[in-house]
Chains A and B, each alone.
Chain A
Amino acid sequence: MTDFLFGHYIYWAIIALLMIGLYGMIFKNNLVKKLVGMTIFQVSIIMFYVASAVKGSATVPVMDPVTGVADAAKYISPLQHCLMLTAIVVGVATSGVAFSLAILIHRHYKTLDEKILMEHMKSS
């Protein structure tokens, strides 16, 4: 039981972050706060990938003359990090689009409060 709780503490932290992000996206009324939640949500997934690449008694995936290449298990897997570089870029692009939409909304309605915006949406 303690192993289940403390042995995977990083995953618990990631789950907590995921939930904080989702909470922000769903329950916050301000659009910018929603975007903060969205970023936390995306970052938690990036951390999930990076955490899955962690390996004890292994080194960075750069060829080390001392370690050699005979035993590949002595290096951590570089793939997750590469994937997450792409995911970070995707996240930045998403934030960019989202912020420009938020600016557009603010220009039209002079507010970023979702409740007020929803009333505007209902009235034709």
Chain B
Amino acid sequence: MPLNSPALVPLLLLAAAIVIPVLAIRKTTVAYPAMMVASFGAVVVSSYNVFRVWRNGPLAYHFGGWFPPVGIEYVLDPLSAFVALVVNVIAFFVLWHSGGIQEREIPGKSVPYHALTLLFLCGANGIIATGDLFNLYVFLEIFSLAAYGLIGIGEKKAAVASFRYLIMGVVGGSFYLLGIGFLYIVTGSLNMADVRNILPHVQGNPAVVAGLSLIVIGMGIKMAVFPLHGWLPDAYTHAPSTSSALIAPIGTKIAAYVLIRILFFVFGVESVSRSLPITDVIAWLSAIGILYGSVMAMAQDEMKRMLAYSSVAQIGYIGLGIGLANPLGYIGAVLHILNHAFMKGALFLVAANLRRNTGRSDISGLDASLRKKLPWSMAAFTVAALSMIGLPPTAGFFSKWYLALGAIDRGNWVFLAVILVSSLLNAVYFFRILERAYLLPPTRQKTGEDPHAEAGKGRGSLVGEEENTLMIPVVVVSFSLLLIGLWNATIVREIIQRILPLGM
């Protein structure tokens, strides 16, 4: 166990994804507990990995005993161990929540769905842990194919949204493949550490520059950076609630992680900025994306669609942090990967609870009766919304703080203004919902007709009729935002700052 723990999480999830459909042939109810066991195992192993990396430094595992650069290597350094833990923890809570909602949203399909979620997580963990460029492509495709399936399984329009995502995603993945082809032709290696050592000798080679550009564009599509975000709103809106809550926090973050890994840990900041102004391009596009996503989010009436556009804006923060290419921006970007995963996870789970209870999640349909019907969900929504806006002491404040410091450090006042203005825009579109949910008096026929509301009143309990499976994960995820906020200094000092990129 100690020596092979980097490879253990992806393999565990892959094995579970294969075993679950077999187990569930006789009895379909086995699938959900089996999935939860696998997901919990992933959480345990990845927390153990974080602890070991924190104590002893980076871990490496060589498949089949072949040493790099020949063999495939799995590496866990503080960055990858940390991102893996974030992904597995958020996935655990979303999957827990899925138990209460699945039979209603996708009746009869839950067994393949469970297997698909585990395949999705296997891809994500593989991308994070691998130290090999081509292996990363394979896991990227596993991850993306599972994501197309997770989206396409939803309502009628989901198949079209998923198809469009597939076309875009294939272009992104193929660009990445073409990019590493260019790199391989020049360097003759696919191992990330090896490529990093060879690249200084081939400085300024046009094939390397072309390869880097292709990789950045490919990952930009997967990450939904501003002009390449076209697939995202439809895909998030029409997917089943669990899929949105799983893909929104994890999907785009993984691409952001790959971008960080390739730009900062394979190429290094200096060689990136010497040949092409790639980081500047990323930063400016992200800044436009932040404003565009926030403005579009204000215009939406459907809550999941609003959250999807808000995701475009939040991805912009991460892109901005990457594009700043200084230590503060980098800390902001990595911290925002954590924060946004928890915020978006919580918000999409609340949207799922709304759909479960009222059948839809239109903002114009919200009123103060929700405060009584779904008190915990609405409280969770409030905390997550405050964190999105960036009020201290919630987690969202601190990543924006680091990004703002990074922008000041860079001397770029436009970016600082963008961060501040977008916080105001966030406030506008979230307070719109909070105002309705807490202050707008309910219309009479709604409370009269709804039997659930009567039952809740009859019991007179504060919990309303929220099911535990639906309520506890939402509350835990959203209130942990406060904890992350309070302990952000520890996270930054002990984990993120332990591995700063080359040349920062």
Contact = CB atoms under 8 A, between A and B. Distances in A.
Contacts of B174: 41-42, 45
B234 interface: yes
Interface string A85-124: 0110010011001100110110011000000010011000
A108 B156 contact: yes
Contact of B157 (A22, A34, A48, A121): A121
A37 to B, nearest CB: 9
Nearest to B161: A121
B134 interface: yes
A120 B166 CA distance: 19
B163 A98 contact: yes
Interface stretch (B33-41, B144-152, B269-277, B394-402): B144-152
Contacts of A93: 141, 145
Q: Which of B149, B174, B177 has the most CB of A within 10 A?
A: B174
A80 B190 CA distance: 11
B171 A25 contact: yes
Main secondary structure of the interface of A (DSSP, over half): helix
A95 to B, nearest CB: 9
B160 A98 contact: no
B247 to A, nearest CB: 15
Contact of B159 (A45, A52, A94, A101): A101
A28 to B, nearest CB: 11
Contact of B145 (A83, A94, A102, A120): A94
Q: Which of B134, B162, B166 has the most CB of A within 10 A?
A: B166
A105 B163 contact: yes
Interface of A: 22, 25, 31, 34, 38, 41-42, 45, 48-49, 52, 80, 83, 86-87, 90, 93-94, 97-98, 101-102, 104-105, 108-109, 117, 120-121
Given A41-B170, A52-B181, A97 B159 contact: no
Q: Which of A49, A90, A102 has the most CB of B within 10 A?
A: A90
B289 to A, nearest CB: 21
Minimum-distance CB pairs A-B, first 8: A104-B159, A90-B141, A101-B163, A105-B159, A108-B156, A52-B185, A117-B160, A101-B152
B177 A87 contact: yes
B170 A42 contact: yes
B178 interface: yes
Contact of B166 (A42, A49, A86, A94): A94
A109 B234 CA distance: 17
A35 to B, nearest CB: 8
B237 to A, nearest CB: 10
A83 B184 CA distance: 11
Given A93-B141, A104-B159, A98 B166 contact: yes
A38 B170 contact: yes
B291 to A, nearest CB: 24
Contacts of A41: 170-171, 174
B181 A48 contact: yes
B262 to A, nearest CB: 18
Contacts of A98: 148, 163, 166, 170
B160 A105 contact: yes
B138 interface: yes
A31 B164 CA distance: 10
B167 A34 contact: yes
Nearest to A112: B163
B177 A94 contact: no
A82 B458 CA distance: 67
A104 B157 contact: no
Contacts of A109: 160
Q: Which of B141, B160, B170, B234 has the most CB of A within 10 A?
A: B170
A27 to B, nearest CB: 12
A108 B177 CA distance: 34
A104 B174 CA distance: 25
Contacts of A31: 163
